[in-house]
Structure 1
């Protein structure tokens, strides 16, 4: 149901998204059959293509040329894909979107080089954009993402975390790339500085809301919906917002501590999920996601009157209200 809704939201851009998909396949092609197999394995696992879609929508505030804009949309999705490959190595994850991860199908060494290869292809694509500001934004984004990876490693298994720790992590993990997608789409099309700034802020707030919902769903969605065991984030040592709030409950805290110490049994996993789902932690996390979503929608109200505004609002609402 959720996937069908997203397809409907994207329906007006189907031909453009198809161009991006074909271009992603071309970008991931190499002289190494081994690299091709690993890269296409990840591409065929699918994804929401949120970042390319935001590039396309943001570009419509300037001079829109899909043949030019694709050179921004493709590298941003490649950066996202590369970060997923590296994340799965760090987290020792076996499944993503119901499929074996690259590290599970091959090994850690192949996965790391595969992620590096995809990052390099992203940079190669960006050389087709002449605007130096676009290159600066992309370089800063990649630096922040890499810093975020280190922060996530530093925070692993750390029980004593506050909201500030969590926010700095998800800003670099998710929000900054979505913000850059909106910003770069506008820059590449020659939109005004004011529009570029508003879209960047919109993307940042949407990204924060999106990641909070993602972290909530890791506890509330089913294994089948997630394509991996529910509660995987905590079992991998990542203390997300629902867990931070749940730690305030003296009855749940020992369950979280035991999960981090791991490994836990299937019965203990079910006990943990049931306790967190029934706790106020989920409602509190949802409320915080809603605050970010409201900020994102407010930024849209400052944009010039344009038919694309409705698409930005609809997709933002989907991202901030989705059920899995």
Structure 2
């Protein structure tokens, strides 16, 4: 199943979003224009705009009003990716060179700031302080999550709660907000808006856990980035946390993961130990529990065709390869 199949309820609207992603960040300054539009042209899953559109479609057929919000959500996500690639010194994303690789750190930082500012400009058109407040709070917490991740690199003493708190801010929060705002924009009943917010949160948690699993086991060409990139950067994810605690070679793994040099030079050995442990299976079980919680939230929502799309998305995440 592809993104097209999952989001077929909003295919036309997503095509409009794709067009507006480029037009909304056009700049008269060629250097900024090239750097800012580079990531858009690289493509992507467009999860955040899709969730905003699908959430709104539960309650209305006309989504014209939601499209600027959908564009803004993807621009916020893109801005964080541009900055992440600078921090992580990443040369590839989605199988293409990063903005950092093509234009350097300084241009990347300004391009990310520019894209983020354009997202706020789009949202301001609604003249809804409640929507701006939700996005502002989410943006602050996302920054906190990135700082937490940076500070936790090579920290072999972190546990499950530390990891879950980190990925909540890294991924789950913006997906949750996307689902929430799609309903908020239409002034939907509070309990339905809350159900969509919770669905997005649980789904986002599962999505990031699955992403962390794929960093150990995926096909590099399908994934679109080097396998083991988290390990090389000292980012210790759930499969490794489990292996440190329960695998017979946990002490050896702990020593390697605590060392930047060993993470860089022994990444294949580290990946092998984690894959041989039950860490991958454990992480997958945690992901599935979050997906089940996400599906449970759907019972509060109207029985319309979009509801089945939300259920299929959860099933897709449990089996994704990219």
| TM-score relative to the length of structure 2 | 0.95
Greater Cα shift, 266-275 or 36-45:
266-275
Deviations 1:47-80 (A, max 9, x none): 1111111000111233453221011111111111
Q: Which residue of 1 aligns with 2:184?
A: 187
Q: Which residue of 2 aligns with 1:305?
A: 303
1:110 Cα deviation (Å)? 1.0
Q: Which residue of 2 aligns with 1:286?
A: 284
Structure 2 counterpart of 1:321, from 307, 319, 322: 319
Distance 1:172 1:267, change over 3 A: closer
CA contact 1:60–1:189 (8 Å) conserved in 2: no
Partners in 1 of 2:128 and 2:60 — Cα distance? Answer: 14
Query: Structure 2 unaligned runs (5+)?
Result: none
Partners in 2 of 1:257 and 1:7 — Cα distance? Answer: 44
Is 1:5 aligned to 2:2, yes or no?
yes
Q: Which residue of 1 aligns with 2:85?
A: 88
Partners in 1 of 2:58 and 2:263 — Cα distance? Answer: 52
Partners in 1 of 2:199 and 2:233 — Cα distance? Answer: 31
Partners in 2 of 1:317 and 1:253 — Cα distance? Answer: 36
Q: Which residue of 1 aligns with 2:159?
A: 162
Greater Cα shift, 141-150 or 251-260:
251-260
CA contact 2:222–2:321 (8 Å) conserved in 1: no
Partners in 1 of 2:164 and 2:266 — Cα distance? Answer: 28
Q: CA RMSD in A?
A: 1.7
Greater Cα shift, 228-237 or 60-69:
60-69
Partners in 1 of 2:148 and 2:264 — Cα distance? Answer: 29
1:259 Cα deviation (Å)? 5.0
CA contact 1:39–1:114 (8 Å) conserved in 2: yes
Partners in 1 of 2:307 and 2:286 — Cα distance? Answer: 24
1:267 Cα deviation (Å)? 8.1
Deviations 1:207-247 (A, max 9, x none): 00000000000001122222222111111111111111111
Deviations 1:246-276 (A, max 9, x none): 1122415424533552445998333322222
CA contact 2:212–2:237 (8 Å) conserved in 1: yes
Deviations 1:165-193 (A, max 9, x none): 11111000000000000000001122111
Is 1:227 aligned to 2:224, yes or no?
yes
1:103 Cα deviation (Å)? 0.8
Is 1:41 aligned to 2:48, yes or no?
no
Query: Structure 1 unaligned runs (5+)?
Result: none
Partners in 1 of 2:125 and 2:312 — Cα distance? Answer: 31
Q: Which residue of 2 aligns with 1:132?
A: 129
Query: 5 Å matches for 1:212-223?
Result: 212-223=209-220
Q: Which residue of 2 aligns with 1:296?
A: 294
Partners in 1 of 2:236 and 2:271 — Cα distance? Answer: 14
1:146 Cα deviation (Å)? 1.2
Q: Report the secondary structure of 2:303's partner residue.
A: coil
Partners in 2 of 1:7 and 1:88 — Cα distance? Answer: 27
Q: Which residue of 2 aligns with 1:71?
A: 68
1:323 Cα deviation (Å)? 2.2
1:101 Cα deviation (Å)? 1.1
CA contact 1:243–1:256 (8 Å) conserved in 2: no
Greater Cα shift, 284-293 or 222-231:
222-231
Query: 5 Å matches for 1:109-258?
Result: 109-248=106-245, 249-255=247-253, 257-258=255-256
1:40 Cα deviation (Å)? 1.6
Distance 1:267 1:145, change over 3 A: closer
CA contact 2:42–2:96 (8 Å) conserved in 1: yes
Greater Cα shift, 235-244 or 280-289:
235-244
| TM-score relative to the length of structure 1 | 0.94
